[in-house]
Amino acid sequence: MNYVIIGNSVAAVGAIRGIRGVDEQGNITVISRERHIAYGRPLISYLLGGLITEKRMAYLPEDFYEKNRVNLLLDAEVVGVDSARKQVKLAAGDTIGFDKLLIATGGDPFVPPIEGLAGKDRIFTFTTWDDAEKLKGIAADMERVVVIGGGLIGLKAAEGIHLLGKQISIVELADRILSAAFDRPAGRVVAKKMKANGIDVITEDTVVRIEGDGARISGVTLKSGDYIPCDTVVVAIGVRPAAGFLKGSKVEVNRGIVVNDTMETSVKGIYAAGDVAEASDFFSGQKNPMPIWPDAYIQGDVAGTAMAGGKKSYSGGLAMNSIELFKVPTISMGITNPVEPKEFDILTYQDAENYQYRKIVLQENRLVGAVLVGQVDRAGIFSGLIREKVDVTPFKEQLLDPDFGFIHLTKEIRSTLFAPYGKVA
């Protein structure tokens, strides 16, 4: 059996382990357009800010590829997939045959056509190790940076650049930063901390023009008419599934590559996992791209297992993010900001002075979402309650308590989780 995996990040790693859990013999080939072995992609902001060295970028134990007998092709870009002939075509011209194919190419940063952007030198995106290296490379003569987009990538880029001692403005179109994961109070708490660190956070505005002569940037003009002088721009508006090379392959691509609950695409034998895939959502069951690290691993594992003939099924993507910004830890999960709040029961606790905020979102006595800012310990208990759809009625009053734990649940649940089996002498 020949397994080919396009992409070499967390979904690919989950898939390699998934395949090897079932099939120890088959050949696994991993093709990556990057020149690095699998690395902790979210660590690029730590690398940029000098918090970690390159040595710690490696995501896997040194012997991983050898131990799992993976044939690794780095710096190789796939430009086409021929589903009928079961071949992938590389940019260099050669083709590689497969019996089972996994597409785990992740996302490509989206750069909108902003006036004045074309031809400028210092326009960056921030999703790869090389992006961090490039930014670091020009750090010496970088002074003021504008980050377009106040989502996860934008904020982490801003934090890294801030650690280099540069001045930063973040421009976000929504009414708050991290609008996808946070509600307004949580966004405000974090924005407050960022402002206290000298970062300029501008919301409900956007960059309409990049100013400067030739390749040099002198500043940006905002929709509001404001002008921010800067020499470097980081575009962090979002990512789009990196599925362009599938044109003509018969693999169905909607907002991402559409997959079923075993991560198989519309073409038999071809699977997709991670940020490139459009899998079902935990709550609604609807297909939805979910660019979440742990989810990418799980999808990869499900896909790898299925490719090797094993049985595993995806239980649906549950959004969750743990982000520490300027020493304020935050964890959010599930539905944090319901569109129809009336259908939900929402509990909150706020102490903005001390950067503390807790929010619990319930629907029909089931936990469906949580936001924790500041005190984030044991947040995972909430993710368990969400996934297991536990009726929280008996302990609803305790959910906001920072010491909330298993002791507040029923004894039955505690025994199920922690008690020994059978008789204990």
Partner 1 sequence: MKRIYTIEDACIGCHLCEVGCITEHSQSKDPIRAFLHEQVRSISRCTVEELDGGVISLSTTCRHCDEPDCLRACISGAIQKNDAGVVRIDTEQCVGCWSCVMACPYGAVQRNLAKKKANKCDLCPDRKSPACVDACPNRALVYKEGSQK
Q: Give pairs for 383-391: CB < 8 Å, separation 24+.
A: 383/318, 383/320, 383/333, 386/282, 386/318, 386/333, 386/334, 387/282, 387/315, 387/318, 390/366, 391/365, 391/366
Q: Which of 26, 116, 185, 294 binds partner 1 (CB under 8 A)?
A: 294
Size, binding site for partner 1 by CB under 8 A:
50
Using a 10 angstrom Cβ sphere, with 0-12 exposed, 13-18 middle and 19 or more buried, the burial of residue 425 is exposed
Contact between 186 and partner 1 per CB under 8 A: no
Q: Which is nearer to partner 1, 352 or 407 (CB)?
A: 407
Measured between alpha carbons, how far is 81 from 225 in angstroms, rounded to an integer?
A: 46
Task: Give the integer Cα–Cα distance in Å for 60 and 77.
Answer: 22
Q: Does 61 bind partner 1 (CB under 8 A)?
A: yes
- Residue 162 makes contact with partner 1 by CB under 8 A: no
Strands (E), 277-317: 277-280, 287-289
For partner 1, the binding residue among 16, 28, 31, 46 (CB under 8 A) is: 46
Binders of partner 1 among 21-40, rule CB under 8 A?
40
Please state, as a whole number, how many other Cβ atoms lie within 10 Å of the Cβ of residue 119: 10
Contact predicate 136/126, CB 8 Å: no
**Interface with partner 1 in residues 305-364 (CB under 8 A):** 320-324, 329, 331, 333
Considering only 55-63, 89-97, 143-151, 341-349, which stretch makes contact with partner 1 by CB under 8 A?
55-63
* Residue 68 C-beta: closest distance to partner 1, Å: 13
3-state secondary structure of 313: coil
Write the binding mask 245 to 284 for partner 1: x where contact by CB under 8 A, - elsewhere: ----------------------------------------
CA contacts within 13 A on the Cβ side of 147: 30
**Does 405 contact partner 1 by CB under 8 A?**
yes
Task: Please report whether residue 20 would count as binding partner 1 according to CB under 8 A.
Answer: no
Q: Does 42 help bind partner 1 (rule: CB under 8 A)?
A: yes
Q: Which of 105, 29, 99 is nearest to 296 (CA)?
A: 105
- CB-wise, 41 or 188, nearer to partner 1? 41
CB-neighbour burial class of residue 384 (10 A; exposed 0-12, middle 13-18, buried 19+)? middle
Reported as type and span, the H/E element at residue 208 is: strand 207-211
Rank residues 52 and 139 by Cβ distance to partner 1 and give the closer one: 52
Residue 380 lies near partner 1 (rule: CB under 8 A): yes
Does position 377 interact with partner 1 (CB under 8 A)? The reply is yes
Closest separation in Å from C-beta 376 to partner 1: 6
Q: Which is nearer to partner 1, 335 or 376 (CB)?
A: 376
Q: How far is CA 310 from the centre of its chain?
A: 27
Using the minimum distance from each CB to partner 1, give the nearer residue, 238 or 294: 294
Which residues contact partner 1 (rule: CB under 8 A)? 14, 40-43, 46, 51-52, 56, 58-61, 293-294, 297-298, 301, 320-324, 329, 331, 333, 376-381, 383-384, 387-388, 405-408, 411, 414-421, 424
